[in-house]
Amino acid sequence: MIPARPDDFARAWLGVLGLPAAQAARALLGASLVSRDGIVVTLVEVEAYGGIGEDPASHAYRGRTARNAPMFGPPGHLYVYLSYGIHRCVNVVAHEPGTASAVLLRAARVDDGEPLVRSRRNAPAAPHRTLASGPGRLGQALGLTLGDSGAGMRASDAPLRFATPPAPLAAAAIATGPRIGISQGRELPWRLWIRGHPAVSRTPTPVTAAPTVP
């Protein structure tokens, strides 16, 4: 049997990434990605951001600009932006034709390349689960920069590409809730994470859970 090449994985993902971002986000949970320099991670937490006039928390909400242009381009490309002046936040463009949206990668488990990640993150002794737990940490762990925004995920030298074909998790393994750090659009349960996974960036209250009594 001939082993699949990276490009085969990318092709297999194209169909999924042509779905609305909220659906693509669901499929991305549990996906394995590999960076240009061989770091392999498994996604455990993502957020969907919608298109023009649809999702006020989305960078695409007010239309196309130089920064968010990748969101308006074809699915399966990266959108990287700087947050809080410090963090490189990594998104995978995912939308149906004629729209503009993306999935923010918020947290992952590091499966390979740990020494390089520890050196980049300047975290020689941090618990393993924290190495890429949070969007800024994940961007730094993968070594992505603003220059990678707009890059494709298909070439063998892509900054980030898929290491496995789509294999959606069982619905019961996925928890959902409001997205983190936004002021508008809180009513949408577009943050998705793997229930109980230690690398999730914070222990959240799922939408489905009973409210805690003060």
Q: Residue numbers of the site for DNA (CB under 7 A)?
A: 47, 49, 57-59, 62, 65-68, 81-87, 89, 91, 102, 104, 121-123, 134-138, 146, 179-183, 201
By the 8 A CB rule, do 110 and 39 touch? yes
Which of 9/42 has CB closer to DNA? 42
Cβ closer to DNA: 82 or 173? Answer: 82
Give the shortest CB-204-to-DNA separation in angstroms: 12
Task: Report H helices in the chain.
Answer: 6-17, 21-28, 114-121, 135-142
CB 36 to DNA: min, Å:
21
CB of 6 to DNA, least distance (A): 26
Task: CB nearer to DNA: give 83 or 156.
Answer: 83
68 or 176: CB nearest DNA: 68
Token pair for 32: 């394995």
d(CA 105, CA 65): 21
Say what angle helices 135-142 and 114-121 make with each other, to 10 degrees: 120
Which residue number, 33 or 138, has a Cβ lying nearer to DNA?
138
What b-and-e string marks burial along 68-82, b requiring 16 or more CB atoms within 10 Å of the CB?
A: bebbbeebbbbbbbe
What tokens appear for 201 in the block?
A: 């960036």
Q: How far is the CB of 135 from DNA (least distance, A)?
A: 5
How many Å apart are CA 11 and CA 141, to the nearest integer?
A: 25
The minimum distance between CB 179 and DNA, in angstroms, equals 6
